[in-house]
Structure formats: C-alpha cells, structure tokens
Amino acid sequence: MEKRQELYAGKAKSVFKTDDPDKMVLVFRDDTSAFDGKKIVQLDRKGMVNNKFNAFIMTKLQEAGIPTHFEKLLGETECLVKRLDMMPIECVVRNVAAGSLCRRLGVEEGLPLNPPTFELFLKNDALGDPMINESHVESFGWAKAEDLAKAKELTYKVNGVLKALFAEGGMILVDYKLEFGVFKGEVVLGDEFSPDGCRLWDAQTKEKLDKDRFRQGLGGVIEAYEDVGRRIGINFDA
C-alpha cells in the first residue's frame, strides 16, 4: 500500500495516510531526540534498525495475544499500521529504578522494584511530559476509564512477554514506555517498541544498551541497538 499525504511528523517518525482510511504508513527516520526534543541529531541506520526492531517485537506481542497496530513491514524504514485514535498518554512500567524515578524519589539506579511500578505521563513536550494519575486521565477526558484500565492491563502483560525475551538474550528489561489507542472500540498498542523507548542493560556487566547511550553521550548508540536486536534473533540484513 502506498503512502499518500503526510499526516504528522513526530520527533523520530513520520505518519502518512494511505488509500485505506483505516491504515497508515509509519516512516522511521534517523532523527534521535532526548530531553523532550531539546537534543536532536541524526544517527546513521537508526530508521532501518528501529523499524525492523519494532516489527519483530510487535509480532512477538501479537503472538502472545496482545493487540497491536502493526500490519506488515513495507521496506527498510517503513511499515503499515492500523490508524488508531491515540490516547495522549505514556504508560511506563519499571522493573528496576532508573531515569526520572531516581531523580524524583532520590533512589539509587539499579534498585529492583517488586512489584514493578506503573506510571502515567502526559504527552506534552512543552510541559516536559508531566507525570499524571488515573483521575487526571478521566477528568480531562484523555481516555475512558475502562480503556485506561485495559491499557494498564496490556502494559503489564507486555512486561511478562518482553522480560523473558530479553532475559533469553542475556539482558534486563529495566523499564519501557508504551502508547495505546482505540481501533473500532478495541484498545490496541500503537507507536513503537524499540531501544528508543525502553532501558535494557546487559545482565552480567549492567552495560546500557538503549537510548541512555545517546542521552548520556556514551557513544555506540546504533551499534548497541543492533547488538540487542541480534541477541533476540533479529536479522537486520533481511
């Protein structure tokens, strides 16, 4: 299916209409941003790597019974997805303390979290993606209460599937962010799952293999993403 008019350009992906009103094309660009878009650079091969990474993960999640918007790969940097009515919120699960949790609560990076935490953030760069709670979502009408409850249930279900997948590759899934939308009344996982939106550490050395390499200026960003992908069985040359 061919892409038509551009609907929206995000920080790392662009979204295009197709001739089917229920389908869109996602184009993964090489742009890499952090700190709510304050730091942006182009990283060679990133669009291709994240497109194939996302396709692999979305397929695994679908096989585990989690509804996702992913339909099929269209090319090196493009895939076809269902057009969802997106909730403007980010669902974050944390298995280990890192990032903003450490800054907010003064806890040490690496502290195991049992049970894993569930947090909500409003997607709003100008406000710095503020943390919100379930009552805000309802009061401001960002999602129906039952849809949010479903998104939360699916976010935890993703944890079971992906913690095991990354563990098999010798990695710890520290935390991740998911975005959901509604398609014909059903709550469906949208956006992407790639090392841009999660934290992954080598289980032995605790080396960071995700976007923290970019945020913290550690270098070797795309090499780390490819290493993660290969360890879970992705062939980026296919």
Residues that bind ligand TMP (CB under 6 A): 90, 92, 98-101, 121, 129, 175-177, 197-199
**119 vs 132: CA distance, rounded Å:** 8
Inter-residue contact 123 to 179 (CB < 8 Å) = yes
Question: For residues 56 and 193, which CB has a smaller minimum distance to ligand TMP in the complex?
Answer: 193
Strand ranges inside 62-165, DSSP E? 70-73, 78-82, 85-86, 89-96, 112-122, 131-132
Question: Least separation, in Å, of the C-beta of 2 and ligand TMP?
Answer: 30
Question: Least separation, in Å, of the C-beta of 14 and ligand TMP?
Answer: 17
Question: For residues 46 and 199, which CB has a smaller minimum distance to ligand TMP in the complex?
Answer: 199
Question: For residues 177 and 213, which CB has a smaller minimum distance to ligand TMP in the complex?
Answer: 177
**200 vs 101: CA distance, rounded Å:** 16
Question: Least separation, in Å, of the C-beta of 99 and ligand TMP?
Answer: 2
**85 vs 15: CA distance, rounded Å:** 13
Question: Least separation, in Å, of the C-beta of 214 and ligand TMP?
Answer: 11
Could you give the C-alpha distances from 166 to 79, 129, 151, in angstroms and in order? 23, 27, 22
**87 vs 123: CA distance, rounded Å:** 9
Question: Least separation, in Å, of the C-beta of 159 and ligand TMP?
Answer: 12
